[in-house]
């Protein structure tokens, strides 16, 4: 195992100072080993997933060690974000994720979906089996989230109140259906759908904040946003800071662990240096997610 040095202590000091019982991270990746290895190969090859950027994976460890690292950081609950890039994969991924949640009690049981025949049935099955969060990846999946095939599945999730973390912003590289337009069409039809816009909607931060302002159940996760890495590529506009402060009850800590090109603690410092105060940090790093998931 790599030595991550003083990092656990630094992270525990961060949430300890805020008086929190730990962190909740809504955006961490666990997936079947051969799928994760494939993802890592993409990052290594500086492919479209990275927008051609150098992207060293900081926590390239075996699965059990990765979960232990999160526990060492005091992450009370995390997710197993996984997603298909083609039809015929989601049901298999959901089976793996259900088993992972069974053997990993601090992981929120995660599921995924794809626009394909049968999607409504397997989404219903996953919800019935106890899935507490879904992941959708519009860029990797290269589909329109407003696709007719997905309509009944969004309806099931809206009705069940199960949140969906959705990568729909155009960062780090745009896709055919990324950006706020297609998501706005989904929300117009399913206004109570609990979408959690990944990466704060980077780089379309303001448009996605606008959707959160318009729809009570829309939230955003902080994954990679505000870090030195992302600020170089897609800086968060300073003029939107007051809106970020006002949306403090709808922003959730996400990290992209383990696939991050910097130490985990940097995400926390990146949130702290926004200067929005301790109350905002407590809500974002723990309380909002604890409330949403009933932890």
- 116 or 256: whose CB is closer to Zn ion? 256
- 4 or 29: whose CB is closer to Zn ion? 29
Lookup: tokens for 228: 């030195």
**CB burial string 157-175: b at 16+ within 10 A, e below:** bbeeebbbbbbbbbbbeeb
- 138 or 276: whose CB is closer to Zn ion? 138
- Shortest reach from residue 251's CB to Zn ion, in Å: 16
Residues touching Zn ion, count (CB under 5 A):
1
- Shortest reach from residue 283's CB to Zn ion, in Å: 22
- 20 or 257: whose CB is closer to Zn ion? 257
Considering only residues 203-262, where is the footprint of Zn ion by CB under 5 A?
Answer: 256
DSSP 237: P
- 25 or 256: whose CB is closer to Zn ion? 256
Binding pattern to Zn ion, positions 255-294, x when CB under 5 A? -x--------------------------------------
By CB under 5 A, tell whether 25 contacts Zn ion: no
- 10 Å CB burial of residue 75 (0-12, 13-18, 19+) is buried
Compute the residue count for the chain: 295
- Look at the alpha carbons of 251, 5, 273, 203 in this order and tell me if their dihedral is positive or negative: negative
Any residues with CB less than 8 A from the CB of 230 and at least 6 apart, and which? 171, 199, 202, 224
- Shortest reach from residue 216's CB to Zn ion, in Å: 25
Give the three-class secondary structure for 163: coil
- Chain residues binding Zn ion by CB under 5 A are 256
């Amino acid at each position: 195992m790599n030595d991550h040095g003083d990092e656990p202590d630094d992270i525990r000091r961060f949430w300890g100072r805020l008086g929190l019982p730990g962190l909740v991270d809504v955006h961490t990746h666990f997936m079947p080993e051969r799928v994760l290895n494939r993802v890592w190969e993409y990052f290594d090859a500086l492919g479209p997933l990275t927008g051609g950027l150098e992207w060293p994976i900081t926590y390239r460890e075996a699965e059990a060690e990765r979960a232990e690292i999160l526990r060492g950081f005091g992450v009370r609950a995390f997710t197993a974000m996984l997603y298909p890039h083609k039809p015929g994969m989601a049901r298999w991924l959901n089976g793996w994720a259900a088993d992972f949640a069974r053997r990993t009690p601090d992981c929120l049981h995660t599921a995924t979906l794809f626009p394909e025949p049968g999607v409504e049935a397997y989404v219903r099955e996953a919800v019935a089996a106890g899935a507490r969060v879904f992941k959708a990846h519009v860029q990797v999946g290269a589909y329109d989230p407003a696709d007719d095939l997905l309509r009944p599945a969004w309806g099931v999730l809206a009705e069940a109140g199960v949140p969906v973390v959705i990568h729909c912003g155009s960062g780090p590289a745009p896709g055919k259906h990324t950006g706020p337009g297609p998501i706005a069409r989904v929300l117009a039809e399913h206004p109570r759908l609990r979408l959690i816009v990944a990466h704060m909607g980077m780089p379309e931060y303001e448009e996605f904040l606008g959707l959160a302002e318009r729809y009570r159940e829309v939230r955003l996760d902080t994954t990679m946003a505000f870090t030195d890495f992302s600020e170089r590529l897609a800086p968060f506009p300073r003029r939107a800071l007051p809106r970020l402060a006002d949306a403090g009850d709808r922003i959730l800590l996400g990290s992209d662990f383990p696939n991050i090109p910097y130490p985990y603690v940097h995400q926390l410092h990146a949130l702290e240096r926004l200067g929005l105060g301790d109350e905002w940090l407590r809500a974002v790093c723990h309380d909002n997610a604890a409330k949403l998931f009933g932890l």
